[in-house]
Amino acid sequence: MPTDVLVLGAGMVGTCTALQLARRGHSVALVDRQAPGRETSYGNAGIIQREAVEPYAFPREWSAFFNAAFKRGPDVNYHLDALPAVVPRLYRYWHESAPGRYAAIALDYSRLIEHCLTEHDALIFESGAGDLVRKEGFRVGFRTEAAMDAAVESATDLQRRYGLGLALLDGDAMADAEPGLHARLAGALHWLDPWSVSDPGALVDRYAQRFIDLGGQVAQGDAASLRPEAGGWQVQTADGPLQARHAVIALGPWAAELTSTLGYRLPLFVKRGYHRHYRGGPGLNLPLLDAERALVIAPMAAGMRITTGAEFARVGAPATPVQLGKAETAARELIELPEPVEAVPWLGNRPCTVDMKPVMGPAPKHAGLWFNFGHSHQGFTLGPVSGRLLAEMIEGSRPLVDPAPFAPARF
């Protein structure tokens, strides 16, 4: 059967794009250099964040800027040799985070997040992945009353404006909810709508298997070999060349390299992050974001996963897991952390845009070429709805969400 669409990149976004197309009867080949869900989609905190209606803005406080510049906290690290390339992007990120511009961006963003649970739910059911998912929310914990009080005002405003589920826990309620904590927190926000996943990579695997069951093809290949072909596109795979009328670039942090060879100069940048698992000890029942230390402790099948904040470095640069060391120290103040499961921490890359919105839609210069990347911290959350939206654009059906705010042509 001739292939209708090549999807390059088998993370959560690419796999869901391929699956959404296959569900609509299209012949699709999903191409990656390794198995689905082995890169960024494997290494996140495993939360489908329905409450994340507003993207991460660049901090406006000078204290946050200086803390980052001097690497005072665990939330930010950077490599000096990466700064010449990333600083102009960060300036534009800061510019777009100004209150007036950010309000419009957040409104667009919220319309995608609004559908994250329903679109995941359909794929979870079809792929038999319910055993991986827990629908009890997650918590944001605070060590000090001042930090808790400041966060409550913002959170209740989001709850009111977007109709989100939220419970406020004081220190006693938090201790009852998480008896594995050996330090008392001032309190926590319990976001009730999000779902947590015990193995993020396994969820992508299940979606990929559903794609195969629907007749989809998974091929090992190099996205850099993508070339225009008469009436379509071609990519080289281990089993020979594949051709299709349409090609979707869903390469996450590697999208910038390929799109630049095709003549696009998109304002993309990468945030790196680390994680490690620890097995043994009482642990936690639900994921916990330690708001004042910028780390997440998430119960996973492999153990308690500790994740870090952002590191700015070149893609492929050697690992410098100084943030993970700080995160481990902070986490040990809250729970028991036995010896780590992995000898070497996991390192991954988050694909970001300067206006905090993903790049989704037709490539301006090439017929039959489509983009679906730049989801920053929320590719795991937004994969199914982004895949559906792109599938609807490709086949010309009415889209679930207005795609105009995410169009590549905005740049």
pLDDT exceeds cutoff 90 at 236: yes
- How far from 198 is each of 246, 264, 281, 287, CA to CA, in Å? 34, 38, 17, 10
Question: What span, in angstroms and rounded, lies between the C-alpha atoms of 275 and 238?
Answer: 31
To the nearest whole percent, how much of the chain has pLDDT over 90?
A: 89
pLDDT at 314: 92
Q: Check if the beta carbon of residue 319 is closer than 8 Å to that of residue 308.
A: no
Q: What residues contact 69, with CB distance under 8 A and at least 6 apart?
A: none
- Work out the average pLDDT over 227-238: 94
First to last CA, the chain: 37
What is the Cα Rg of the chain in Å? 21
pLDDT at 170: 97
pLDDT exceeds cutoff 90 at 243: yes
pLDDT at 55: 95
pLDDT at 67: 75
pLDDT exceeds cutoff 80 at 347: yes
Question: What span, in angstroms and rounded, lies between the C-alpha atoms of 130 and 77?
Answer: 36
Mean pLDDT of the chain: 95
Enter the CATH code of domain 1-57+97-130+193-267+354-411.
3.50.50.60
Please give the structure tokens belonging to residue 266.
């998109």
pLDDT at 22: 98
Give the pLDDT confidence of 303-323 residue by residue, as tens digits: 999 999 899 999 899 999 999
The beta-strand segments (E) located in 22-67 are 28-32, 47-48
pLDDT at 59: 86
Q: How many CB atoms lie within 10 A of CB 361?
A: 22
pLDDT at 397: 96
pLDDT exceeds cutoff 90 at 103: yes
Q: Check if the beta carbon of residue 406 is closer than 8 Å to that of residue 392.
A: no
pLDDT exceeds cutoff 60 at 372: yes
pLDDT exceeds cutoff 80 at 215: yes
Question: What span, in angstroms and rounded, lies between the C-alpha atoms of 8 and 249?
Answer: 5
Q: Check if the beta carbon of residue 233 is closer than 8 Å to that of residue 368.
A: yes
Question: What span, in angstroms and rounded, lies between the C-alpha atoms of 19 and 14?
Answer: 9
pLDDT exceeds cutoff 90 at 37: no
- Of residues 231 and 200, the one with the higher pLDDT is 200
Min mean pLDDT across 37-46, 52-61, 98-107, 189-198 is at 37-46
Give the pLDDT confidence of 125-169 residue by residue, as tens digits: 999 999 999 999 999 999 999 999 999 999 999 999 999 999 999
Q: Would the pTM of this model clear 0.85, i.e. be above it? A: yes
Question: What span, in angstroms and rounded, lies between the C-alpha atoms of 309 and 108?
Answer: 25
pLDDT at 1: 56
Q: Name the residue ranges covered by the structural domains of the chain.
A: 1-57+97-130+193-267+354-411
